[in-house]
Amino acid sequence: MTSHVRVRFAPSPTGKLHIGGARTAIYNWAFARANHGTFILRIDDTDPTRSTAENTQVILRAMRWLGLDWDEGPEVGGDFGPYAQTERLDLYREAAERLLAEGRAYPCFCTPEQLEADREAARARKDPFQGYQRRCRDIDPAEARRRMDAGEPYTIRIKVPADRGDVVINDAVHGRVVFDAKELDDFVIFRSDGTPTYNFATVVDDAMMGITHVIRGDDHLSNTPRQVMVYEALGAPVPTFAHISMILGADGKKLSKRHGATSVEEYRDAGYLSDAFVNYLSLLGWSLDGETTIIPRDVLASQFSLERISKNPATFDPAKLDWMNAEYINAMSDGAFVDEILIPQLAAAGKEVSRASHTDAWWSLLASIVRPRTKMPADAAQVAAPIFASAKTLAYDEKSVAKGLAKEGMARVLDATRVALGTLSADDWKAEHIDAALEPLPDALDLKKRIVFQAVRVAECGNMVSPPLGETMQLIGRDDCLARIDRALTMAL
């Protein structure tokens, strides 16, 4: 059952979806879901010089990748559309006409020069009110209509009631915020070119779409008293506002390009998991209980509340995001890890492997040793690479060879290893038997464990940082393991 809660995320398609916007979207989505409400996506594309259809597509794609499904909006429709502001221009025009007819707005014929001169004069006399001097407010409506019809350029201004007083909002995050009546001017709701201003179009939409809660960045807090004036003029109920804090970089400055990747798609392309990314962003200014960090999507969607949004700015910490991503990867099932990370990452690294090329048990064993060593998806391909190589194609890391293999006595180690492994049949080729066969070697050769196993490791994997030897060798297979030792013998001394 849906409740009356209706929220919207209203990006301007003037660029990609960034971290801050994504967090706003997540909060709106989670709030709608937690309250069995409706989540609306609206494209605020009234800035024609900076909005592009391509950016809209990028935003929609990013929203889908984030898993933030919208109930009304582009591509899904809904009863309150259209959901792009450029398709709603007639509605804004009608709303403005209605306010004009009701005397709640008026046309202003002041020229830019006049306005500038008035502002200059107000500054000169140190007038605390620096807004519009209301020159056109009292023009007789019939006279105003005549001038409009005659083609004189005009803007439309809202008529703030003379006795309005301070504007008080009870922000769900900031609490009671008071805006001084003296600061309210009769601001423009329609420009002379016939386009609505942001503060007007947004409120017409929010009112017509029945938005109950406006959750957005606190850079919009200063717009709110003006928007309240529009609600009141329209005779529409004022929604609950929740202005969320800024996101800062580690240096305490507002998050920007200087801090590294900022667009959602850059994170997707870098291999972050959508669930981990959403979890991390959800905690930039909100908490479940002040301590839980791993918050699965369904918990977020059932437990999110405005009460637990913090007033303080949040700091974006890439290391914490990486940690969280690794946690999510580590929690994946074997099957999901193989299908969603391992095989695609191998393909991206140029190694096409099909699931059918090995048994499920083989893949599970592989997942169990690669997954804990995977912080970022691309790590998986790197860690697993030696297993998908062959004695002929295995790449030997020069430094590892110099350190672990090309040293006096290592040929003797490999010879002994070959003999020990040779005793195992193909059927016995299991990690536990391999480990058991290798175990006595250091004592028998009177060498340190580390030296012996390092040599075997470099021989089998080409480097010194592979996953546990027994499992790795089981996965490589008996014949190829022995062939690798033969090849390594040509490098050992």
To the query of whether residue 375 is one of the catalytic residues in this protein, the response is no
The residues near 400 (Cβ < 8 Å, ≥ 6 apart) are 458, 462, 463, 464
Give the separation between CA 199 and CA 77, rounded to whole angstroms: 24
**How many residues of this chain interact with ligand GLU, rule: CB under 6 A?**
7
| Structure-token pair, residue 378 | 């691309």
Q: How far is the CB of 12 from ligand GLU (least distance, A)?
A: 4
- Stretches 7-15, 110-118, 167-175, 322-330: which one binds ligand GLU (CB under 6 A)? 7-15
Q: Shortest approach of ligand GLU to residue 24 CB, angstroms?
A: 7
Contact of 462 with 396, CB cutoff 8 Å: yes
| Cβ proximity to ligand GLU, 211 vs 295, nearer residue | 211
Which of 221/488 has CB closer to ligand GLU? 221
In the bound state with ligand GLU, the residue whose beta carbon lies nearer, of 197 and 202, is 202
Q: Is 262 among the residues that bind ligand GLU (CB under 6 A)?
A: no
Q: Which residue is nearest to ligand GLU (CB)?
A: 44
Closest CA to 238 of 186, 202, 187: 202
In the list 18, 37, 44, 184, the residue contacting ligand GLU (rule: CB under 6 A) is 44
Instruction: Provide, rounded to whole angstroms, the least separation between the CB of residue 50 and ligand GLU.
Output: 11
Q: Tell me whether residue 466 is exposed, middle or buried, using C-beta atoms within 10 angstroms of its C-beta: 0 to 12, 13 to 18, 19 or more.
A: buried
Whether residue 48 has a cis bond before it, omega within 30° of 0: no
> Where does this chain touch ligand GLU (CB under 6 A) — which range of 9-17, 181-189, 287-295, 325-333?
9-17
Chain position carrying tokens 């406006």:
214
Cβ proximity to ligand GLU: between 81 and 344 the closer is 81
The token pair at 184 is 């309210």
Cβ at position 227, least distance to ligand GLU in Å = 8
Non-local CB neighbours of 444 within 8 Å, separated by 6+ positions = 416
Query: Which range binds ligand GLU by CB under 6 A, 5-13, 101-109, 248-256, 352-360?
Result: 5-13
Please tell me the distance from the alpha carbon of residue 190 to that of residue 367, in angstroms, as a whole number.
60
Q: Which of 10, 189, 321, 365 binds ligand GLU (CB under 6 A)?
A: 10
Q: Residue 145 CB, nearest distance to ligand GLU (Å)?
A: 32
Instruction: Report the distance separating Cα 25 and Cα 41, nearest Å.
Output: 9
Alpha-carbon distances, residue 244 vs 37, 82, 172, 471 (angstroms): 20, 27, 9, 49
Q: Which of 257, 320, 351, 399 is catalytic?
A: 257
Q: Which of residues 462-491 bind ligand GLU (CB under 6 A)?
A: none
Site mask for ligand GLU (CB under 6 A), range 109-148, x = bound: ----------------------------------------
Query: What is the phi/psi pair of residue 263, to 5°?
Result: -90, 150
Binding to ligand GLU (CB under 6 A) within 187-246 occurs at: 202, 216, 220
From the CA atom positions of the chain, what is the Rg in Å?
Answer: 33
Listed in sequence order, the residues at least 6 apart from 123 whose beta carbon sits closer than 8 Å to its beta carbon are 130
The residues that are catalytic are 257
Residues of this chain that bind ligand GLU (CB under 6 A):
10-12, 44, 202, 216, 220
